[in-house]
């Protein structure tokens, strides 16, 4: 966990409202694990005041990638940055996904909805390195919401897509695609990131099919490193559930830890 006040943008790609930046920062890249995130400063003054949490999308020796969708003013300002600009970044933060040794040789599904795909590229590659047989399920509203499909394919990952409007892949929600796939073959684990309703639905499927599942949650974050108690969700840890800090204890939790009812 460190602060790099001047991580250099070395790559910028964009697809409509989606952006991918490569940032050079040996300090941040060295420690990064899948499912961890960064707190990125989007303005050099008070507007917006807070940093923005963004997942680590990919990691090379000295560089990290972030992938984001414009959601409001902060991400819009970030999207205006150019190659060679510098970013002030805290990270890597959070505990990330737990990569079980037992997954070797096993089939696992990585399920991403919309911008929720961001942490799953790094994860999928690490899972494969760990010997798992990875299948990526990638859903979006429409074809333009699947800008990373080719990137996954290029990396030699097995990707199946879904779109709400049927413009690409399975016609329907990614949870429908997941249901189809689990009907064929139950994976040894699920790794999920996406909008709350999608994750909740996925958790139901996982519970029903008894598949261990990990979910990367989002919440409003004041600091990202455990100092503000702003980011809590109700999480069971052998108890009935307390307000636990997403940034520190998470952002990834297993399905049986998350108390979905209390959300939003």
Partner 1 sequence: MVDLSVDLGFLKLRNPVLAASGTFGYGLEFEPFMDLNSIGGFVVKGLYFGPREGNPPPRLVETAGGLINAIGLQGVGVEQFAEEILPRLRKYQTAIFVNVCGASDEEYIRAIEYLNRYEGIAAYELNISCPNVEKNGACPALNSGHTFSLVKLAKQASRLPIIAKLSPNVTDIVEIAKAAEEGGADGISLINTILAMAVDIETQRPKLTNIFGGLSGPAIKPIALRMVYQVVSAVKIPVIGMGGIMTGSDALEFLIVGAKAVEVGTANFIDPAATLRIVGEIEDFCRRNDVKKIAGLVGTLKV
Ligand X SMILES: Cc1cc2nc3c(=O)[nH]c(=O)nc-3n(C[C@H](O)[C@H](O)[C@H](O)COP(=O)(O)OP(=O)(O)OC[C@H]3O[C@@H](n4cnc5c(N)ncnc54)[C@H](O)[C@@H]3O)c2cc1C
In the complex, the residues that contact ligand FES under the rule CB under 6 A are 221-224, 226-231, 245-247
Nearer to ligand X, 122 or 170 (CB): 122
Burial of 118 (0-12, 13-18, 19+ CB in 10 A): buried
Residue count of the chain, please give it. 264
| Binds 10: which of a second copy, ligand X, ligand FES, none (CB < 5-8 Å by kind) | none
Helix (H, G, I), strand (E, B) or coil at 199: helix
- Decide: 135 and 109 in contact? Cβ < 8 Å: yes
| Binds 55: which of a second copy, partner 1, ligand X, none (CB < 5-8 Å by kind) | ligand X
Give the residue, chosen from 44, 46, 61, 72, that forms a contact with ligand X under the rule CB under 6 A: 72
Give me the 39-58 binding string for ligand X, x by CB under 6 A, dash otherwise: ---------x---xxxx---
| Helix %, strand %, coil % of the chain (to 5) | 25, 35, 40
Give the residue, chosen from 46, 61, 184, 261, that forms a contact with a second copy under the rule CB under 8 A: 46
Restricted to residues 20-59, the positions that interact with partner 1 (CB under 8 A) are: 41, 46-51
Separation CA 97–CA 121 (nearest Å): 12
Separation CA 153–CA 151 (nearest Å): 5
244 sits near ligand X (criterion: CB under 6 A)? no
């Amino acid at each position: 966990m460190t602060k790099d006040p001047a991580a250099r943008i070395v790559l910028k790609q964009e697809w409509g409202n989606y952006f991918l930046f490569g940032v050079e920062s040996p300090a941040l890249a060295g420690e990064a694990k899948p499912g961890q995130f960064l707190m990125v400063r989007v303005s050099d003054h008070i507007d917006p005041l807070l940093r923005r949490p963004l997942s680590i999308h990919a990691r090379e020796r000295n560089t990290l990638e972030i992938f984001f969708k414009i959601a409001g003013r902060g991400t819009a300002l970030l999207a205006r940055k150019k190659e060679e600009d510098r970013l002030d970044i805290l990270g890597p933060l959070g505990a990330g996904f737990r990569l079980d040794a037992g997954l070797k040789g096993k089939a696992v599904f990585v399920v991403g909805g919309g911008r929720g795909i961001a942490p799953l590229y790094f994860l999928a590659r690490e899972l494969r390195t760990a010997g798992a047989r990875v299948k990526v399920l990638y859903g979006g509203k429409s074809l333009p919401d699947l800008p990373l499909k080719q990137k996954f394919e290029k990396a030699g990952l097995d990707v199946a897509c879904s779109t709400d409007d049927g413009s690409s892949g399975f016609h329907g929600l990614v949870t429908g695609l997941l249901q189809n796939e689990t009907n064929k073959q139950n994976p040894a684990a699920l790794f999920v990131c996406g909008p709350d309703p999608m994750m909740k639905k996925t958790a139901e499927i996982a519970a029903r099919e008894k598949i261990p599942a990990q979910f990367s949650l989002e919440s409003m974050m004041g600091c990202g490193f455990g100092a503000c108690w702003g980011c809590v969700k109700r999480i069971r840890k052998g108890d009935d559930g307390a307000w636990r800090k997403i940034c520190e204890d998470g952002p990834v939790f297993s399905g049986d830890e998350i108390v979905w009812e209390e959300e939003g």
